[in-house]
Amino acid sequence: MKTILYILQKEFRQIFRNRTMLPMIFGVPLVQMLILVFAATFDMKKIDMVVVDKDLSTTSRQLVAKFDGIPFYHVSQAVMDEKQAEALLLNGESDIALVIPANFERNLIRNNNGQLQLLIDAVDGNSAQLIYAYSGQIISSFNKNLIAHWKGIPEFAPPTQVKISETYWYNNELDYKWYMAPGILAILVTIIGMFMSGMNLVREKEIGTIEQLNVTPVKKYQFIIGKLVPFWVIALFDLAFGLLIAWLVFDLPIVGSLWLLFGFAGVYLIGVLGLGLFISTVTDTQQQVMFVSFFFMMIFILMGGIFTPVESMPHWAQIADRINPIFYFMKILRMIILKGSGFSDLLSEFLALCVLGVVFLSLAIWRYRKTI
Amino acid sequence: MENDKIITVQNLVKKFGSFTANDNLTFDVYRGEIFGFLGANGAGKTTALRILCGLSSPTSGEVKVAGFDIYRETEKIKKNIGYMSQKFSLYEDLTVSENIQFYAGIYGISPKKRKEKEALLLQKLEMTGARHKLIAGLPLGWKQKLAFSVAVFHDPKIVFLDEPTGGVDPVTRRKFWDLIYEVASNGITVFVTTHYMDEAEYCDRVSIMDAGKIEALDSPANLKKTYNAKNMDEVFIQIAR
């Protein structure tokens, strides 16, 4: 036990003496929380629309005006044929083209049947769906008002039918930042933990001091714990710091228990740090550690459900995610912070994190060799 | 005599793939002696030394260090030895005193005893003023003396030195050897590899390795007689030619 304390004392001295360490401890959370949370959004803020109005009637102009009146629709161009509209879709200046054929108004009045065409840039399928849904609603509401107008009633009042009243739970203003902040926090804690611990151990290999330690009676587990604890503390500190930023800057509500949150983070970090240390036991230079850690980070993050829901992934990917620590931590953070879930709601995630922690840490201790 | 053997090596073989770094080494080291392990670069000195320290495992052969078996009792051996590697291995970003505190700590020396010994040591090395200076700022000669002193701080039975005086001037080297003598006079066995032949003269016995084999093992005086040479340089050249 005393041996571990001596190792810890030495590690903390070195960490606080290292000039790049403090900027990293404070800089990484600031940058990630202030830039990434705002940048990583799927909110539809602006839809550029090109209009091909071949009808040039009162009705067609009303329709265009209706779109233009909606804050996030930006009717940026009006062209005379589809070819030009397609060109604008192709070069990315427009997201959607609304094509109003000639005789739109006449057909509407005479045949009670008008036709419109929407061309949507669907490179990003998600956005395309959203744009289509929004536009459909706008046109349908326009249609209803048209009918109402003809019938001489001020606004379309449908006969009594099923009425839906909606409340969004847990994030009732649908603030995307609230959804992303816990995700970015998970990335933050993982990067700090995994990279710092791995780089630190392999640095001792590079400068050769590890050999001196290997001829001492220090036990493998003492050494690994001595390397783990400092970065465990730093990563938890950064979680607190990141949460504080989120709370101050975008009012992130923390519905659940902070104790529970940090308890889970503590267990999660044992696994992440264990993995970082394991990587450093199988590599020889800091570059190698960076490369291998980065490889795992990318996969963990992209499969972890931060940006895309895990439920939409193929079945095999969901199974593979069971060994992805970020997948659990992400879920846990969102559930505790936004929903206020308790320990019993997260029991299976807790057990999974325990298993991953034991496995990764054991791998690190097992693979660390005092004898080459 | 058997009790006085602190290291016994019998038929030690170490292979790296098809390359044999140590080819059937057999030798003993006696308690309290300064044992010089000589050889050209690549002769296999460091490989053998690393095996004796428990940093590397042999391919075959029987080795006992401080009475413990190299295969099964590596951790016990580690309590009883000190080691100073070719690569300078104190922490550059810690001070003199912090390095001593760390190494003393992991060998289980009490803080009280450490402070006493540290004060005496620094006085002897004339480094009391540099106590709170970072190692990175010290001259190489000081670093080496300090690294050696830290390697024997816990009073091991044997200290292994792997080319401890690489890259320093003859005067500093001479001073370094004064430290080695002092340690040996306190009963610590010194096992030192070198390729400086003047240093070989300071040893009680030397072994000379060439291409993984021990070609000669005796006191410097006897070796010079056997090979009819004026100094160790000539002995070495005849063997390693």
Block residue for tokens 């960490």:
A15
CA distance A216 to chain B (A): 5
Paired strand residues for B214: B209
Domain ranges of chain B: 32-42+80-240
pLDDT digits (tens, 9 = 90+) for A14-72: 999 988 888 999 999 999 899 988 887 777 778 899 999 998 888 889 999 999 888 88
Are A7 and B88 inside 8 Å of each other by CB? Answer: no
- How many alpha carbons fall within 13 Å on the CB side of residue B36? 27
Spatial contact of B217 and B33, defined as CB atoms under 8 Å apart = no
pLDDT value of residue B1: 45
B78 in contact with chain A, both atoms CB, cutoff 8 A: yes
In this structure, is the dihedral angle defined by the CA atoms of residues A11, A14, A17 and A21, taken in order, positive or negative?
Answer: negative
pLDDT value of residue A36: 87
Paired strand residues for A99: A52, A117
Length of chain A: 372
B195 in contact with chain A, both atoms CB, cutoff 8 A: no
A13 in contact with chain B, both atoms CB, cutoff 8 A: yes
B112 in contact with chain A, both atoms CB, cutoff 8 A: no
Q: From chain A, pick out residues whose CB is under 8 angstroms from the CB of B75.
A: 217, 219
Of all residues in chain A, what percent carry a pLDDT higher than 70?
Answer: 97
Of all residues in chain A, what percent carry a pLDDT higher than 90?
Answer: 56
Minimum CA–CA partner of B105 in chain A: A6
Q: In Å, how far are A108, A133, B38 from A114, measured between CA atoms?
A: 5, 19, 100
Packing angle of the helix pair A2-17, A220-250 (nearest 10 deg): 50
Are B81 and A13 inside 8 Å of each other by CB? Answer: no
pLDDT score of A159 more than 80: no
CB atoms within 10 A of CB B57: 14
DSSP letter at B4 equals: G
User: Which of B95, B94, B123, B117 is closest to B104 using CA atoms?
Assistant: B117
| Cα separation of the two ends of chain A | 26
Minimum CA–CA partner of B154 in chain A: A216
Q: Which of A 331-360 lie inside 8 A of B, CB atoms? A: none
pLDDT band for position A242 (50/70/90)?
very high
Nearest-CB residue to A212 (from B83, B92, B108): B83
| Grouped pLDDT means (10 residues each) for chain B, 241 residues | 80 91 92 91 88 91 93 91 86 95 94 95 92 92 91 94 86 90 93 88 91 90 90 86 71
pLDDT digits (tens, 9 = 90+) for B20-44: 899 999 999 999 999 999 988 888 8
pLDDT score of A284 more than 80: yes
pLDDT value of residue A38: 84
Cα B57 from Cα B68, distance rounded (Å): 14
Are B87 and A208 inside 8 Å of each other by CB? Answer: yes
Q: From chain A, pick out residues whose CB is under 8 angstroms from the CB of B78.
A: 215-217
Q: What tokens were used for B54?
A: 């428990």
pLDDT digits (tens, 9 = 90+) for A311-323: 888 999 999 999 9
- Most B CBs within 10 Å: which of A16, A216, A222, A369, as the mutation test of the B interface? A216
The chain-wide mean pLDDT, for chain A, equals 89
B32-42+80-240 belongs to which homologous superfamily? P-loop containing nucleotide triphosphate hydrolases (3.40.50.300)
Structural domains of chain A ordered from first start = 47-151 (3.40.1710.10), 173-367 (no CATH)
Listed in order, strand segments (DSSP E) in B68-218 are 68-69, 81-84, 158-162, 189-194, 205-210, 213-218
Region A344-361: mean pLDDT is 95
Cα A281 from Cα A292, distance rounded (Å): 12
pLDDT band for position A219 (50/70/90)?
very high
Nearest-CB residue to A3 (from B55, B82, B106): B106
Listed in order, strand segments (DSSP E) in chain A are 47-53, 73-79, 96-100, 117-120
